[in-house]
Structures are given as C-alpha cells and as structure tokens.
Amino acid sequence: MDVINLGGGIPDPMPDFLARPLAFAARLNAGGDPAGDMELRRALAAKLLRDQGLSFDPPTGIVLTTGAKQALLPALLAMIEPGDEVLTFDPCWVSYAPTIRLAGGIPKPVPLARSGDSFHLDAALLRHAVGDRTRAIIVNTPHNPTGRVFTHDELTDVAALALDHNMWVLSDESFDKFVFDGHRHVSIAALEGMQRRTVVVQSFSKAFALPGARVGYAAGPASVCAAMSRFNEHVITCVSPFMQALALRALGNETEWTAALQAALRLKRAAIEDFRAYLPGVRLVRTEGTFYALADISARNPSSQTFARWLLDIAHVAVTPGIAFGAGAEGFIRVNLVGPLEAIRTGLSRIQAALA
C-alpha cells in the first residue's frame, strides 16, 4: 500500500557537508571521554554563547549524549530523588513522562491554556501544580507538538516559579533553529538567576538533519554535568567518536546549512497554509516554530486516534494522533513537515479528498 508518512520521516534536504569525505577510520580505535571530545565541547560552548549569551565552561559544563533524548535520564537522575515530582506541560513530547518514571520520579502534567487555536503557558496553573515534592520542571521551546515559541514573558513566569520553589529546570531546546514569522527563541537559562539551576538540552538530529548520527548534548551546572558524565561512563562509555567528528564538521557548516534548512521549511509551511481553506471541518494551528503543524479535527471526530486511523485507511496518509502527547492535544493531529515537499503536498491533497 502506498502510504504518505506525515507522522515522521527522513529529513529533506540532507546536509550537503555529508558528501565530503571524513576520516572515520582514524576514529574507530579511538578512546573516548565520557563527557565528549574537548574540541567539540569548546565548539558547543561557543555556539551557546553566540546564540543565547550563555557562558559554559567546556570541561565542566558540557556533556555529549546519544541524542538529546538520552540526555534526559541522567539529568533527571542528578536532579531528583525517588518519589519527587517533575512538572511537564500537557501536551508534551511523548518521552518526558516515561523518562521521569525511569528516574524514579512522578510526572505531573500541567495543561497549557488554550486561546482559540493557540496554546500558551499559564503561570497560575503552574503555581497551583507545585507541591511539597515538586523538584523540577521540563520546559520545551520551540514546543513539540503545538509549534509554539514561548515568549520571554511566559518563560519569566516559569523562571520565577523555579526560583521561588528552588526547582531545577530541564530545558529542551532541540528546535532552537526552527523559529519563524518574527518570533525569537529564548533560552530560560539566559534569564536572571536561571543558568545555575537549568540544564539546556539540544540535538544534532533537528538543527542539522542528522537523526541517524544520534548526537545530542547537555549544558548545565558542573555538579549535574559531572553526574551525567559518570552515567555515560558506565552505561554508554561515550558517544561514538566518529559521530562526534561528524558533529564537529556540522558545527563548522552551521551558518550556511541553517539558512538552507530554514528556507526549505518555509516552503513546506507555505504548502500547508495553502490548504487552510480546503480542509473542511479542520482548523490548522499556525506554526511559530519546530517542523510540525497541529490541526484541530475535533469537529470531525473527537478521537484523534480514530481520526488518524481513518486517514490511514481512507487517504493512505499517516499522521500522529494528538492523544499521544497527552490529554491536552486530544482532538488534534500532528503533521510532520520534515520530508520532501512533494510528498507533503501529495499527502495534504489526499487528506483534502478524504475530507470532501
């Protein structure tokens, strides 16, 4: 069966710097620092300073991980004790709650407030959720799955909460380069008093279209990074040395590559906007960041899982049901814009025909 996959996919375009030879063989017998190659850590520290004005000491404040996802567990193990609560937004990325449980914690979802089709942080809801055992909060901006880029004011409210209650913040900023229409990515670590209690997590899978490399990194206080490095030493030894070499090359091509990737994604966003008036009973949420588009399908079917299955059976298009991200996204589907432009257009045409 010919299925258009708008639930995930392989990044398009692929980085052109992959076409140039890289001396992998020289790295195959290399040992590895559990925290990562020092040259790469210095380059990452320079990037964070350049992008967000964050100053991290490469030897003590940067740790390489096997993708951004693997950074979550050792960071949480360093932050919480068994039985501690960790606040998450609802909806949120599907791995947060399971990872909190693996670390012995209790995930406590806090609904994002709704205003029309838009989602936003509500300081009152966050404060109401804080209990005696609340030790941390996971912040994700630009936000998966809603596509929101949380504002400086919204993040200031979260920072005030963390400072008032002596909480850690785990800031997932994997989509930091995917911000559009005049919006600006702000790292909560850059707000006053926050760097000493925040661990910033980023990924080469998104900004550099290298999901198969499985390279991510965390930047944070020396105490947390030391614990994360010990975790790496005994669980993964280190991130693959030749993938770290690829990551270093990617950073050297960041300026040109990011511009090309953003230009390609703007065309894909324009393609889905072209269908806004032609999807009866479906309301598209305008994407401020990430490479996802959220669509409200509740007028057609209150169950996102049933609707997604119907699209698969009738239109032969795969999307992600919103319920996967929490109760706050029920009645929505998420469309992934990472694949080829023509495949996205074909998939949207099929959805349009099925709805009609």
pLDDT, tens only, 329-346 = 999 999 999 999 999 999
The average pLDDT across 149-168 equals: 98
Q: Return all residues near 234 (Cβ < 8 A) that are at least 6 apart.
A: none
Nearest to 191 by CA among 231, 150, 242: 150
- Spatial distance between the Cα atoms of 257 and 228, rounded to a whole number of angstroms: 30
3-state SS, one letter per residue, for 152-165: HHHHHHHHHHHHHC
pLDDT of 25 strictly over 60: no
- What pLDDT was estimated at residue 30? 66
User: Residue 295 forms beta bridges with which residues?
Assistant: 284, 333
**pLDDT band per the 50, 70, 90 thresholds, residue 24:** low
Q: To the nearest whole percent, how much of the chain has pLDDT over 70?
A: 96
Angle between helices 341-355 and 254-274 in degrees, nearest 10: 20
For 213-325, list the strands marked E by DSSP.
216-219, 283-285, 292-296, 317-318, 320-321
Instruction: Compute the distance between CA of residue 209 and CA of residue 308 in angstroms, rounded to an integer.
Output: 26
Task: Work out the average pLDDT over 77-103.
Answer: 98
Confidence grade of residue 172 (pLDDT, cut at 50, 70, 90): very high
Say yes or no: domain 4-13+255-355 is CATH 3.90.1150.10.
Answer: yes
Rounded mean pLDDT of 308-327?
98
37-58 residue pLDDT tens: 999 999 999 999 999 999 999 9
Is domain 29-253 given the CATH code 3.20.20.105 in the classification?
no
**Cα distance between residue 325 and residue 96, in whole Å:** 10
Tell whether pTM > 0.75. yes
Using pLDDT thresholds of 50, 70 and 90, give the confidence band for residue 168.
very high
* CB atoms closer than 10 angstroms to residue 164: 10
- Amino acid letter at 334? R
Give per-residue pLDDT as tens, 104-132. 999 999 999 998 778 999 999 999 999 99
What are the pLDDT digits (tens) for 210-250? 998 999 999 999 999 999 999 999 999 999 998 999 999 99
Residue 11: predicted pLDDT? 87
Phi-psi region of 56 (alpha: psi -120 to 50; beta: other; left: phi over 0): beta
pLDDT digits (tens, 9 = 90+) for 266-287: 999 999 999 988 899 999 998 9
Rounded Cα–Cα distance for residues 144 and 30 (Å): 36
| Cα angle: 190, vertex 95, 128; to 5 degrees | 60
**What pLDDT does 129 receive?**
98
- pLDDT computed for residue 276 by the predictor: 87
**Percentage of residues of the chain with pLDDT beyond 90:** 86
Q: What mean pLDDT comes out for the span 291-298?
A: 95
Residue 294 clears pLDDT 80, i.e. is over it: yes
According to the model, what pLDDT value does residue 343 have? Answer: 95
What's the whole-number average pLDDT of the chain? 94
Distance (Å, whole) CA 273 – CA 287: 10
pLDDT value at residue 17: 73
Helix (H) / strand (E) element for 127: namely helix 123-129
Average of pLDDT values for 322-327? 98
Where are the extended beta strands (E) located within the chain? 4-5, 62-65, 85-90, 106-111, 113-115, 118-120, 134-140, 168-172, 198-203, 216-219, 283-285, 292-296, 317-318, 320-321, 332-336
**Which pLDDT band, with edges at 50, 70 and 90, does 60 fall under?**
very high
Confidence of residue 296 (pLDDT cuts 50, 70, 90): very high
Position 171 scores a pLDDT of 98
Residues with Cβ within 8 Å of residue 258, at least 6 apart in sequence: 177, 207
Strands 134-140 and 85-90, sheet pairing? parallel
Q: Domain coordinates of the chain in residue numbers?
A: 4-13+255-355, 29-253
Per-residue pLDDT band at 23 (split at 50, 70, 90)? low
